[in-house]
Amino acid sequence: MDRASDVAITGVGVVSSYGVGASPFQRGLLHGQAGPRLRDLSSSPIFAADNEQIFGLGCLEAEALLPRTSLTGVGWEAKLAEAVALLALIDAGTNLEHLLPERIGIAVSAHYSGLQDYAEQFQAGACDPDGMVSATRGPRIGFNATAGYAGIALKAEGPNVTLLNGSVGGIDALIYARNALSGGGVDAMIVCAVDVVPAVLAPVLQERRGTFPPRPFDTRRNGPTLGDGACALLLERAVDASNDRRRRVVPIRSAVTIMADDLQDACTEALRGSLSEAACTPGDIRACFAGGNGSRAGDHAEATAISRVLADEPPAICAIRGGIGHWPAAGSLAQIGAGVLSMRKLRIPPTPGLRTLDPEFQIRVNSEATFVRRGAAIVSCWDADGLAGAVVLGP
Amino acid sequence: MPRRTHEIVVTGIGVVTPLGNTVDTFWSNVLEGAEGLRGLSRFDVGGLSSAVGAEISSPNPGEPKGRHGLEWALGAATQAVSDASLLQCGIDPRLLGCALGTVTGTRPALEDAITASGGLASDCEATRMWENPALASRTVARQLGALGPNCTLATACAGGNSAIAYGAEALRTGRADAMVVGGFDEISLASLLVFDSFRALTNDCVRPFDLNRRGLALGEGAAALAIERREDANARRAPVLGTILGWANVCDSHHITAPHPQGDGAARGMRLALANAGIDPSDVDHISAHGTGTIANDRAEARAIQAVFGDIGEGSVPVTALKSMIGHAQGAASAIEAVACLLALRDGVIPPTINHDTQDPECALDVVRCSRRPSRMRVALSNAFGFGGNIECVLFAS
State the ipTM, two decimals: 0.95
User: A179: distance to nearest CA of chain B, Å?
Assistant: 8
Predicted confidence at residue A49, as pLDDT, reads 46
Specify the higher pLDDT residue, B340 or A75: B340
What are the strands, taking DSSP E only, across chain A? Answer: 7-16, 19-20, 38-40, 53-55, 104-109, 160-164, 188-195, 229-237, 250-259, 285-290, 316-319, 347-348, 370-371, 376-383, 387-393
Residues B265 and B270: their CA atoms lie apart, in Å, by 9
Where does the pLDDT of residue B112 fall: very low under 50, low under 70, confident under 90, or very high at 90 and above? confident
Residues in chain A: 395
Predicted confidence at residue A130, as pLDDT, reads 79
Average pLDDT over residues A362-390: 95
Predicted confidence at residue A33, as pLDDT, reads 79
In terms of DSSP bridges, do strands B286-288 and B379-386 run parallel, antiparallel, or are they unpaired? parallel
Q: What is the pTM of this model?
A: 0.96
User: A62: distance to nearest CA of chain B, Å?
Assistant: 22
* pLDDT above 90 (res A9): yes
State which amino acid sits at residue A183. Answer: G
b vs e for A227-247, b when ≥16 Cβ sit within 10 Å of the residue's Cβ? bbbbbbbbbbbbebbeeeeeb
Do the Cβ atoms of B130 and A119 come closer than 8 Å?
no
Predicted confidence at residue A56, as pLDDT, reads 61
Flag if B107 and A166 touch (Cβ within 8 Å): no
Could you tell me the CA-to-CA distances from A298 to A332, A377, B139, B148, B256 in Å, in that order? 15, 21, 20, 21, 38
Percent above pLDDT 90 for chain A: 68
Specify the higher pLDDT residue, A42 or A132: A132
Where does the pLDDT of residue A38 fall: very low under 50, low under 70, confident under 90, or very high at 90 and above? low
Mean pLDDT of chain B: 93
The strand pairing partners of A163, in sequence order, are A109, B153
Give the number of other CB atoms < 10 A from CB of residue A135: 15
Residues in Cβ contact with A25 at an 8 Å cutoff, skipping those fewer than 6 apart: A14, A16, A18, A19, A334, A337, A338, A341
* Peptide bond just before B149 cis, omega within 30 deg: no
Do the Cβ atoms of A234 and A364 come closer than 8 Å?
no
Say whether B6 is catalytic.
Answer: no
Give the number of other CB atoms < 10 A from CB of residue A296: 12
Predicted confidence at residue B122, as pLDDT, reads 66
* pLDDT above 70 (res A231): yes
Do the Cβ atoms of B315 and B362 come closer than 8 Å?
no
Mean pLDDT of chain A: 89
* pLDDT above 70 (res B21): yes
The strand pairing partners of B369, in sequence order, are B353
Residues A11 and A86: their CA atoms lie apart, in Å, by 10
Q: Which of A50, A96, A122, A269 to mutate to test the interface with B (most CBs of B within 10 A)?
A: A122
On whether any CB of chain A is under 8 Å from the CB of B20, the answer is: no
The SS3 call for residue A178 is helix
Q: What is the pLDDT of residues B28-64, one digit of tens each?
A: 999 999 999 999 998 888 889 999 999 998 666 566 7
Query: Could you write out the DSSP letters of every residue in B162-223?
Result: HHHHHHHHHHHTTS-SEEEEEEEE---HHHHHHHHHTT-B-SS---TTBTT---B-BB-EEE
* pLDDT above 60 (res A41): no
Predicted confidence at residue B246, as pLDDT, reads 97
Number of H helices and E strands in chain A, helices first, is 12, 15
Chain B residues in contact with A121 (beta carbon < 8 A): 190, 193-194
Do the Cβ atoms of B99 and B201 come closer than 8 Å?
no
Where does the pLDDT of residue B330 fall: very low under 50, low under 70, confident under 90, or very high at 90 and above? very high
The strand pairing partners of A107, in sequence order, are A161, A191
Which residue from A111, A185, A208 is facing B133, i.e. has the nearest CB? A111
Flag if A142 and B138 touch (Cβ within 8 Å): no
Say whether B286 is catalytic.
Answer: no
Where does the pLDDT of residue A208 fall: very low under 50, low under 70, confident under 90, or very high at 90 and above? confident
